[in-house]
Amino acid sequence: MLVNILEAKNRLSQLIKAVQNGEDVVIANRGSPVARLVRVPAGARGDRDLLGWLGAHPLAAHAQRTGAQIDAAIDLERDAWA
């Protein structure tokens, strides 16, 4: 089934039910396919997959900051706006 973005937005729950029933759903932008809804394999846990990916792809050293460091950086930015 091919649907445009607006139709997909308005009928998302129906499209998900169609995918659960084995139907292929492709979302198009102005008639050109851009995305596909696919059924997640039985037993798959998205949160475990994400945590596994994060473990295998740690943040770069410059992006690893504590909550306190992030809060301090936000405070500096706010002070600069005043």
Residues in Cβ contact with 11 at an 8 Å cutoff, skipping those fewer than 6 apart: 3
Q: Is residue 60 part of a domain?
A: no
Tell whether the model's pLDDT for residue 56 goes beyond 70: yes
Averaged confidence pLDDT in the chain: 88
Exposed, middle or buried by CB within 10 Å (0-12, 13-18, 19+), for 45?
Answer: exposed
Contact between 37 and 16 under an 8 Å Cβ cutoff? The reply is yes
User: What does pTM read for this prediction?
Assistant: 0.52
- Indicate the number of domains in the chain: 1
Domain range spanning residue 1? 1-41
The radius of gyration of the chain's CA atoms, rounded to the nearest angstrom, is 21
Q: Is residue 26 part of a domain?
A: yes
Q: Is residue 22 part of a domain?
A: yes
Percentage of residues in the chain with pLDDT exceeding 70?
A: 93
Contact between 55 and 44 under an 8 Å Cβ cutoff? The reply is no
Q: How confident is the model at residue 14 (pLDDT cuts 50, 70, 90)?
A: very high
CATH number at residue 7: 3.40.1620.10
Between 13 and 55, the higher pLDDT residue:
13
